[in-house]
Chain A
């Protein structure tokens, strides 16, 4: 009973705040709603017994990604309100599309009730046997080894891409070069001037 109430509360919060992400006028509010959505999703994970995933969602998405979003949004001097001007004009069309999608989803849901979908999907080690992290660790490095490695390559592409698109070698920038500093000789660093009394250096 309590679990059901918690589920409906959190699912409703997730949906409402997800809608708020795209409808909020202030981009900072959008990001805050995004964080709320992540939190609700983490709560849903806990209800399913996947507490490790829930913590991961909070630590990685809320703690790192969303806060990074917040920084970026605050630093960018973009007039987001201006960008969003057309939103209301397109709303009727968008609503129509959404209505159609929802009708389809309803169809699918009613079918799901009959077909009893998703029973077989929950076969990954039951909560009583091993801990969540252990269960994930067991399959991640054995059954999903290939995908895990490929995900690493995708991150590699992201890193290369960021370098290709943003790194610029500007001439004339002063950087510390330790080898050069250490290798400096006396003859390069010191200039001896023979100063005559009463004349000074010209």
Chain B
């Protein structure tokens, strides 16, 4: 009993989220969709509260809760804060967007918060069942969100595709987990860590399958096929949500699994992660060159960026995990900012999602064009913007981890990727004409402005602090 009370007291952020989801669904059933705006506001607030609580109240040493199913440590705390804040930003964006398009429903904040709860569980997972349940909770909510515009063929296609391919990845994950259980005799990460080195080829086999399932969630090539279609089909604020919080949660989970129970097997999984990173960077950079749709372009950009984030993990050195965390902290506000701008762009009463739709933006809306420029430069990694420092950190980590060939692949990919970010900017600044633009939504512009301000200069100035936070988080946990 005392263990339960102790566990619940440490699991307060999760309790806030679960409580909001249940209460929100009840209130929503009562007030119907009229209360959607208010519920979304409350949802944002709860997300921020949960994120701040998780970040602010970290135990000195890692605490295992619920009989070892969950672990609360500094690493999870940092990850949860980033997840909750980026989810709050995209929820705010979504609530405003759907109010304008008259599609608001009270389930949006409830499902978003439930997905975030799943991500919190992923960040804190300490055994294979908790890991799977967290992944499923997050994914199922995401499938529904992808098909939000249910009368739109593309949105339905996105939801269905995401669901079917997600089910396959869950199958791979479970198959791998069953091998790990069979060969180590335990579901708990601590026991697996003790038994894994003697487990032989069976554990490696299970680990590779588990990694395949998780690579699907971060959309690392060759498990990336769903990303462009889902990103294009889902409503833009939902795409912004997919591009930010779930990616970080899955990456944090990969870090926890690899550096926790399988730390001894680094030679085995190091190659797998290196291959995933190299393929993702290559596929993301080359395939994006052919895209004409902004959302598809951003999908390939996110594949490439996940490749960059996975790159330092391949070394098996905790410094690599710090670098990946830092990279994601810089990448999240930038990508949310770009999607906020895509939400804000509307021409002739329809969403402007093609690159050609950006023509003449600089002349008509110079402020928007300036925000686009900062965010795209940051994504491309042009100094002195935050994106450059993110890339600098992961490249340095890769070189220090004796993965020079991977860093070279990454460098080539980054140069190719810069070409398509610049292509977007060329359309904005040098292409004349285009139809009249509608006045952008103030909320979307605020989110984009915050994203741009974080990309330059706030995160650049706070880089030292960020690195310290990431360092202590990883150092205290692994």
Contact = CB atoms under 8 A, between A and B. Distances in A.
Interface stretch (A6-14, A18-26, A54-62, A107-115): A107-115
Given A154-B136, A157-B141, A147 B105 contact: no
Contacts, number: 101
B324 to A, nearest CB: 26
B444 to A, nearest CB: 23
- Which of A111, A154, A157 has the most C-beta atoms of chain B within 10 angstroms of its own C-beta? A157
Contact of A111 (B133, B137, B147, B202): B202
A154 B140 contact: yes
A108 B137 contact: no
Contacts of A120: 185-186, 195
B202 A154 contact: no
A104 B67 CA distance: 35
Interface residues of B, number: 45
A117 B107 CA distance: 46
A58 B114 CA distance: 32
Contact of A153 (B130, B137, B201): B137
A147 B69 CA distance: 8
Interface stretch (B39-47, B176-184, B222-230, B336-344): B176-184
Given A108-B202, A111-B202, A165-B150, A147 B130 contact: yes
Nearest to B143: A161
A145 interface: yes
B183 A165 contact: no
Contacts of A104: 205
Contact of A160 (B107, B129, B133): B107
Contacts of B129: 144, 147
A150 B119 CA distance: 12
Nearest to A165: B150
The B interface, classified by DSSP as helix, strand, loop or mixed, is helix
- Range for the number of chain A residues in contact with chain B: 20 to 34
A156 interface: yes
Contacts of A158: 140
A150 B186 CA distance: 20
B199 interface: yes
Contacts of A157: 111, 114, 137, 140-141, 144
A118 B21 CA distance: 40
Nearest to A123: B185
A115 B202 contact: yes
Nearest to A162: B144
B110 interface: yes
Contact of B70 (A107, A114, A146, A154): A146
Interface of A: 104, 107-108, 111-112, 114-115, 117-121, 142-147, 150-151, 153-154, 156-158, 160-161, 163-166
Interface of B: 4, 7, 18, 21-22, 25, 65-67, 69-70, 105, 107, 110-111, 114, 117, 121, 129-130, 133-134, 136-137, 140-141, 143-144, 147-148, 150, 159, 179, 181-183, 185-186, 195, 198-202, 205
15 contacts: A112-B183, A118-B183, A121-B181, A121-B186, A145-B4, A145-B67, A146-B65, A147-B133, A150-B121, A153-B114, A153-B117, A157-B111, A160-B25, A160-B144, A161-B143
